[in-house]
Amino acid sequence: MNYILDYIELDSIDTESAPFSFSYGFNISHLVDSIQQVGLINPPILKKAKDSFVLIAGYKRVLALKKLRWSRVEGLIILEDIPPLKCLLINLHDNINTRKLNEVEKAILISKLAEYMKPEQVIENYFSLLDLPKYMPMYNLYIWIANSLSKKIKDRLASGDISLKTVRFMYENEIPCDDIEIYGDLMSKLKFSFNEQMQLIEYTQDICRKEGIKLKQLFEEKEVKDIIESKSLTNRDKSKKILNLFRKKNFPKLYHAEDVFKKRVQRLNLPSGVELKAPPYFESPYYKLEIAFRDGHELKRKLLDTINTEGIELVGDPWKE
């Protein structure tokens, strides 16, 4: 490959189209600081295009230089007319060896590779490089992320506010785009854990199906809005309360059973450090007794006190109450 190292005007570099870049959700402040301290270590790679230069690699570096108001930069200029796919692959290898791509960047890259080769070729040749399993459903998911998700949701996926697992669940269950936007806003605002994100979608989609309403209508109900707009609750408290509310609406019998069990245990006045736990969703007939103790003597005393606790024999199936 023929190239020269030469100084070129920054204004002559096109950063608007950047056809070979797949960078997304980045912050160049650290790069700006680095260049200020030690200068530009790696030159951008470019090729000539009429009256300007097209960036092949170094998109963020050029943006940082423009922010620093540099007038020109020493760039690696490729002299021969190399095909677009080769340009894309140069940028891929320039990035993949120095950093980990976020999920949106992987999606953009896969969609760009798909312009030049068949899906099977993309999967076989590049998925291992991206730490992705080599199968078609994963390819389809990333193509969907690149082409169908809004910028707002892509931003939240790239930042980690929404997990890939959550996005994949929404894709596989064909959640409408309008609902995805609503979930994205709430998840970003209230900071649900990744498991809670899945629960939120499952609970609310089931409620909407049962009640024949839209997700927007569900989130406009007074009880839901009061939690979201509360001034006294932290975002963490809001996420817990709203999940608890949707769980109660979706599983009223289960919620009642849990409430009955909780009240029974509270009335028992168990010894300190002794906990009675119900099986998750009461799917198992077995309960758990957990005891914190320092030695065998304390264990024996707490076991005897637990056995002699008044009402302990009432612990059992809460569905009957």
Digit-coded pLDDT (tens) for 116-159: 999 999 999 999 999 999 999 999 999 999 999 999 999 999 99
Mean of the per-residue pLDDT values of the chain: 91
Q: Give the separation between CA 300 and CA 37, rounded to whole angstroms.
A: 66
Is CATH 3.90.1170.50 the right assignment for the domain spanning 1-99? Answer: no
Rounded to two decimals, the pTM is 0.79
Reply yes or no on whether the pLDDT at 321 is more than 70. Answer: no
Residue for token pair 């304390």: 298
What is the mean pLDDT of the segment spanning 5-12?
91
**Rg of the chain, C-alpha, whole Å:** 28
Handedness of CA 196, 198, 204, 210 (dihedral sign): negative
The percentage of the chain sitting over the pLDDT mark of 90, rounded to a whole number, equals: 72
* Cα dihedral across residues 24, 27, 28, 31: positive or negative: negative
**pLDDT tens per residue, range 31-79:** 999 999 998 988 999 998 888 899 999 999 999 999 999 999 999 999 8
pLDDT tops 90 at residue 261: no
Q: How confident is the model at residue 306 (pLDDT cuts 50, 70, 90)?
A: very high
